[in-house]
A and B are shown apart, each in its own frame.
Chain A
């Protein structure tokens, strides 16, 4: 086969091209021809097809994501915002933190171990590319029904993959989520988050400037892994009728990644790069076009110099390959030798593959012949943008009218007791230790809090004790009932979790997991959720620093629940003042902060006891969330509470059970006069937390809550080895612990 050069393409305008097979639409292909003034070469077509895929171009989501910028709250904390590899937040004392959450959903369904492992690898390189040392990872995970046979295939593989890759890198996994729901059966959600730390002056950006600067590709050799992965895999609904479209899966090598991290950090330390970009989805197509697009000039690349693992790869395949553990740097000619020297020291292959030109084109050559000649912005940043039609689905009203309040409730203390045991031992509420114990939580010695605490917290500075806390939350059931409120509830819960551990929330990242954007109902969910999240961030003063959108999470006509996952990052001046969740001191007083209303729509109780999803999710009051957070942070700083736990799924009884089991102490709960015990225990009203207050601090704590107007109700005391809800039931801790801890291993081990 002859090489399809730009010259050849200009001479053969009528050659049929496989644009449809590469996932492009007719009008998109026409647009490429219009941009170039001729038909694209095979290599150009490959580049456009991967970069204009949903995953890379955000073509369906872009019009909605703009709100995150337009509604961004005023803040001094944001050093780098949306658009770079990851956002960067000022945490004080000269330190900056970068964090981001991304999806690796589809690959993890096809090949759970490698899919999840390379998900960790990819997000770690994003963080590294900002100039930061990765310090921790987290994984929000969602699977199909816990007792479904395919969950037993997918979940253990995913967990082993996350553990295998992260543990080899020596990164602590400090939290995340594990959620089960039948809606994720064919589309598990494997989201991965990484946190990195740097000094302000170390921030690096992805741009190629300075004519004559070298383009250096370093890291692993390029092979045939995951060719077309992003365009084909992440942007299409699975369809059994087209098995040939199943692409090769990428396999990661964490030891290579570890070398890449240390090598890159040494290169940063000697200030050797002008711009840097990791290679993730769309590989070299993405890295070269994005670097050139963000820079001042053009770029010329000699593609045949790329080191290959498989010498038979065609230029198109090299451009599309998603081989892992690769980075691309822009380096001045004077510093190139030193750059290569450091790479050699770390046993990392590094090759000058091209240079920055004073032109405006991205030109790629194959053995001296030009195969790509494009304006880089048209590939990377000016892809198609769709105003997809959206409409509130007609079933939404029926769903919301199906109020959970009418479900039969426990009539006696004994029934209540029985339902408490069922709820706390249901897969979504039960202990996730079997999962998190497979991750290394304490490597590097800076982990202060990790699962099952409200947030994961790591120390940033050994001298001062400065630390950061991160929590991730999402509730697809709430979002299904009301996507606007559901997204805000995810934000509120994550924000509350960070505050409960004593840290001040600063900024968020998000991973928006939805069904097909071609379905107006799904698009409406997406539009509502992004609007809710943008409004919520504006109110709470926490800007969106970046994130990821994962669409086409659906099997046939059925989409997953809309699942916006929100990660909130907070800062704490001294990690020694953190608030843990465990009730460990007998005699301390338990206070319920916030208001409890009768809110059961989408609750754990309605799911476990009645297999019901309907009604409205809990009301959102972000001003209340902010006040609650301020109280929790002040109480932590001034030593007024010894433990705090946020109330979310499962309600008060779930929170009390978790804190009691964690501390090994029981609790006596007194139901306040005029309160329905069932509602008190199981309602999932937002804006609430339970705290354990030493008797010596009670007056001071009460005064603070009173002065600031936060309802604080004394509901009991830490005592004994039993959870005793007076007048209703009592359950020994041992009887709670057994089913709480046995459920997950019983289903999956």
Chain B
């Protein structure tokens, strides 16, 4: 089974209170040098069958209509090779 990853991020001009809270916490915890933090969501979709153009179009639609609120969020769809993932696990 192939995995498709949908990353959802607030649009750059939109306020991200959670990201700001993380950023403010960093220096308090002794982590310096981080200028900005933006927090988003990552969805991992395990796709049945081949990840062809039709499947990707469907996932694009899922992301646009359900996973992301496109009024305030952008999203990005990436295919992640399941084999590579398994190989990585075997090595570790």
Contact = CB atoms under 8 A, between A and B. Distances in A.
Contacts of B13: 223-225, 227, 248, 310
A292 to B, nearest CB: 27
A310 B12 contact: yes
Contacts of A255: 17
A114 interface: yes
Nearest to A313: B13
A3 B16 CA distance: 30
Contacts of A252: 15
A310 B10 CA distance: 14
The 8 closest A-B pairs by CB, nearest first: A224-B13, A253-B17, A251-B15, A111-B71, A248-B13, A251-B14, A249-B72, A249-B71
A256 B16 CA distance: 12
> Most chain-A Cβ atoms within 10 A of its Cβ — which of B12, B13, B20, B71?
B13
B69 interface: yes
Nearest to B21: A255
Interface in B5-25: 10-17, 20
Interface string B22-48: 000000000000000000000000000
A250 interface: yes
A270 B14 CA distance: 35
B17 A249 contact: no
A236 B48 CA distance: 46
Contacts of B20: 253
A224 B10 CA distance: 13
B11 to A, nearest CB: 7
Interface in A340-394: none
B35 to A, nearest CB: 10
Contacts of B11: 248
B15 A220 contact: yes
Contacts of A309: 15
Interface of B: 10-17, 20, 69, 71-72
A111 B68 CA distance: 12
Interface string A250-284: 11110110000000000000000000000000000
A324 B72 CA distance: 15
A248 B11 CA distance: 9
A225 B12 contact: no
Given A248-B11, A310-B12, A111 B72 contact: yes
A671 interface: no
Contacts of B17: 251, 253, 255-256
Contact of B15 (A110, A111, A223, A227): A223
Contacts of A227: 13
B72 to A, nearest CB: 6
Contacts of B71: 110-111, 249
Contacts of A501: none
B15 A253 contact: yes
Contacts of B15: 220, 223, 225, 250-253, 309, 323-324
Interface string A299-311: 0000000000110
Contacts of A250: 15
Interface in A188-228: 220, 223-225, 227
A310 B20 CA distance: 13
B33 to A, nearest CB: 17
Contacts of B12: 224, 310
Nearest to B13: A224
Nearest to A309: B15
A227 B17 CA distance: 19
Nearest to A247: B13
B69 to A, nearest CB: 7
A250 B11 CA distance: 11
A309 B19 CA distance: 12
> Most chain-A Cβ atoms within 10 A of its Cβ — which of B12, B15, B16?
B15
Nearest to B18: A253
Contacts of A324: 15
8 contacts: A111-B71, A111-B72, A223-B14, A225-B13, A225-B14, A252-B15, A255-B17, A323-B15
Interface string A101-120: 00000000011001000000
B19 to A, nearest CB: 10
Contacts of A249: 14, 71-72
A718 B51 CA distance: 69
Contacts of B10: 251
A225 B20 CA distance: 15
A104 to B, nearest CB: 15
Contacts of A323: 15
A324 B17 CA distance: 11
Nearest to A321: B13
Nearest to B36: A309
A544 to B, nearest CB: 34
Given A111-B72, A251-B72, 4 more contacts: A111-B71, A224-B12, A249-B14, A310-B13
B29 to A, nearest CB: 16
A433 B15 CA distance: 32
Contacts of B72: 111, 114, 249, 251
Contacts of A256: 17
A440 to B, nearest CB: 20
Nearest to A312: B12
> Most chain-B Cβ atoms within 10 A of its Cβ — which of A251, A255, A256, A310?
A251
